[in-house]
């Protein structure tokens, strides 16, 4: 009697794969399940895009950096020693790639030794939203993005990783390879610059906030007049 062949192991569902921890994904990719690297990409696309975009301020270049960072990570995944989180290791690769690209294109100033006063003054004088844009709540996100883009690069990258991505101070420090104290100082300065930028952008029209626009005025006036006319036409109303 021929023994039954052993049953094939069940194929993990997409949901089960999505729940795999990074370390398990890395282990299995190293073992030959290279298709699982897609999980890593989908898991960290937003983070890598944001950090690359923070450095380069260009959507297309940020996407190019993401692709190259993933290629580099996959090619050197056997070099990941596990001394830091895999997400931190991957983010460092993206940061290095973005900085290298920025330097090649002469778009990046050295993070250390910058004349912060000069750059802050120039960035805060960047184009301000016009009054029509300020009148629309939907444009607030664009205003914030513009203000973040105007930050000096060493503040911008810290702010995006800490506030937009929600990394803690130590993880930001590891990703950018700076001290935790530098992260705290740069984040504090970034917040101050953003407050100043947004106030200067909107301050000119702050007296127009919650303004009583013409259409609303007409609607109220017409309603009152209609009510008064109705009362005047009612029997027994005062002459």
Local confidence pLDDT in tens for the 239 residues of the chain = 455 555 544 445 555 677 899 999 999 999 999 999 999 999 999 999 999 999 999 888 999 999 999 999 999 999 998 888 999 999 999 999 999 998 887 544 444 444 444 444 444 444 444 444 444 444 667 778 888 899 999 999 999 999 989 999 999 999 999 999 999 999 999 999 988 887 777 654 444 445 455 665 666 666 666 676 666 566 555 54
- pLDDT given at position 19: 81
d(CA 51, CA 94): 8
Written as six digits, the tokens of 62 are: 């940020």
Which residue, among 151, 142, 127, 29, has the nearest Cα to 78 in the 3D structure? 29
- pLDDT given at position 211: 47
Distance of CA 146 to the CA centre of its chain: 12
Instruction: Kindly state whether residue 179 falls inside one of the protein's structural domains.
Output: yes
CATH number, residue 25: 1.10.1740.10
CATH number, residue 120: 1.10.10.10
- pLDDT given at position 209: 41
Q: How far is it between the farthest Cα atoms of the chain?
A: 112
- pLDDT given at position 135: 45
Written as six digits, the tokens of 13 are: 């569902």
Written as six digits, the tokens of 157 are: 């990258």
Domain range for 158 is: 112-207
Q: Are residues 58 and 96 in the same domain?
A: yes
d(CA 127, CA 142): 12
Q: Are residues 85 and 117 in the same domain?
A: no
């Amino acid at each position: 009697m021929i023994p039954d062949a052993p049953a094939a192991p069940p194929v993990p569902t997409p949901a089960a794969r999505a729940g795999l921890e990074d370390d398990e994904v890395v282990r299995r990719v190293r073992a030959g399940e290279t298709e699982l690297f897609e999980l890593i990409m989908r898991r960290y696309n937003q983070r890598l895009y944001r950090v690359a975009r923070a450095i380069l301020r260009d959507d297309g270049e940020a996407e190019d950096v993401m692709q190259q960072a993933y290629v580099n990570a996959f090619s050197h995944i056997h070099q990941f020693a596990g001394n830091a989180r895999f997400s931190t290791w991957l983010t460092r690769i993206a940061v290095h790639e973005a900085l290298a690209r920025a330097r090649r294109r002469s778009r990046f100033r050295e993070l250390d030794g910058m004349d912060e006063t000069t750059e802050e003054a120039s960035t805060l004088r960047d184009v301000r939203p016009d009054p029509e844009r300020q009148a629309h709540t939907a444009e607030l996100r664009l205003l914030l993005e513009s203000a973040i883009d105007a930050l000096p690069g060493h503040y911008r990258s810290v702010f995006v990783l800490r506030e937009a991505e929600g990394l803690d101070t130590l993880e930001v420090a590891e990703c950018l390879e700076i001290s935790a104290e530098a992260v705290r100082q740069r984040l504090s300065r970034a917040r101050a610059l953003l407050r100043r930028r947004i106030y200067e952008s909107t301050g000119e029209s702050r007296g127009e906030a919650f303004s009583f626009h013409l259409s609303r005025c007409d609607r109220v006036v017409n309603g009152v007049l209609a009510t008064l006319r109705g009362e005047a036409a009612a029997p027994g109303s005062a002459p």
